[in-house]
Structure 1
Amino acid sequence: MKPHAEITEVWPRDGCVRLVGHIHGHPAEGEWRLLLTRRSHAEQRLNYPAQVKGDRFEGELPVADVAAATATAELGVGVEEWDIHLTDGEVELRAGRRLDDIHGKKKIMVFPEQRVRDIGVRPYYTVKDNLSLECRTGAAS
C-alpha cells in the first residue's frame, strides 16, 4: 500500500473540521501541514499547521476559510470539492482511511454540514476512500 495519511477521526463542528490520524508508510520527521487543493482549480490551495508526535497527526481546517475561497468562483448553485493531503513540503500524502477493511465509505459514512452564509461545507469519503471536503452553494441540502 502506498504511503498516505490514514484518518482515524473526523470531527466537523464548531466552525472547523478536526482531523486525527497516522502517517502510514513514510517517515514522520519534520514539520507537517494539512493541505487543501481545490479539485477544479489545482493551483488554489489552502494549508494549515498539523501537529505530529511520533507518527500521529492532528489538525483543523477552518470552514470559513474554505467557504470564502469557494465563494471566489462564479458558481451560482453548485458544488466544489477540495482534496485533503498531509505535506512536509516535499511529499504530499493523500488523506484517507484504508486500513480498516471497510470499503465504500462514501455510501456508509455521512458527516454533518456546517454552513457559512450560503455555503455548506462537509467532509466526505470519495469512491477510493480518500477524504475530501464538499462545498455546496445555495440553499441548505
Structure 2
Amino acid sequence: MSGHAELAQVWPRDGALRLVGRLHDHEPEPATAAAWTLRLTPRGAAGERALCYPAPLDGMAFDASLPVADLVPEGPFEPPALWDVWLAPPEDSGAGLRVGRLLDDIRGKKKIMVFPGQQVTRGDLTMLVRPYYTIKENLSVEVLPGR
C-alpha cells in the first residue's frame, strides 16, 4: 500500500490521544470510508496484539481518538513499551498506512516537537504515556515509568 496518513494535529489530553489528518498519496475506496481503523502495533513485544480504534474517513480526512490507558500493558513488562501508529482500511490485514508528519519543512521533530505525557495509574503502578515523532517523522507512543 503506497502513501501515508499525514498528521495535522496531535492532541494528548484528558486521558485520550486524538489524531487529526488526511491521507496522502493514497486513494481510499469510497465504500470502505466508514470502516477504516487507527491501528497501534507494539514494537518488539512478543505476544502483544495490535489495538484498533474506529477512524472513519470523511473524504481523505480522518479524526480518531483512543484512551491512553489501553496502551499500558497488562502485567509486568520492561519499559518502555513502544507503539507504532497506523491507519488501515478494513481489507488490510497488514499494518496499513503509517501515520506521521512528512509534508512540512521541519526535520528532526523527535527533538523539537515534544508532546506532554499523560499519567495512567493501575493499582500502585503509575505510567506515563507520551506520543513522539520517530527519526523518520512518523508518530509512535511510548509508555514509561511515571513519577
TM-score scaled to structure 1, two decimals?
A: 0.89
CA distance in 1, matches of 2:6, 2:81: 23
- Report whether the alignment pairs 1:83 with 2:91: no
CA RMSD of the aligned region, Å? 1.5
CA distance in 2, matches of 1:33, 1:40: 22
TM-score scaled to structure 2, two decimals?
A: 0.85
SS in 1 for 2:26: coil
CA distance in 1, matches of 2:14, 2:21: 20
SS in 1 for 2:64: strand
CA distance in 2, matches of 1:73, 1:20: 32
Matching residue of 1:58 = 63
- Report whether the alignment pairs 1:74 with 2:55: no
Question: What percent identity do the matched residue pairs reach?
Answer: 49
Matching residue of 1:105 = 109
Q: How far is 1:25 from its partner?
A: 1.0
Q: Which consecutive residues of structure 1, in runs of 5 or more, have no partner in the other structure?
A: none
- Report whether the alignment pairs 1:41 with 2:42: no
CA distance in 1, matches of 2:11, 2:61: 16
SS in 2 for 1:123: strand
Structure 2 counterpart of 1:41, which letter?
A
SS in 2 for 1:8: strand
Q: Deviations over 1:98-127 (max 9, x none)?
A: 001111100110000001111110100000
Q: Which consecutive residues of structure 2, in runs of 5 or more, have no partner in the other structure?
A: none
Matching residue of 2:100 = 96
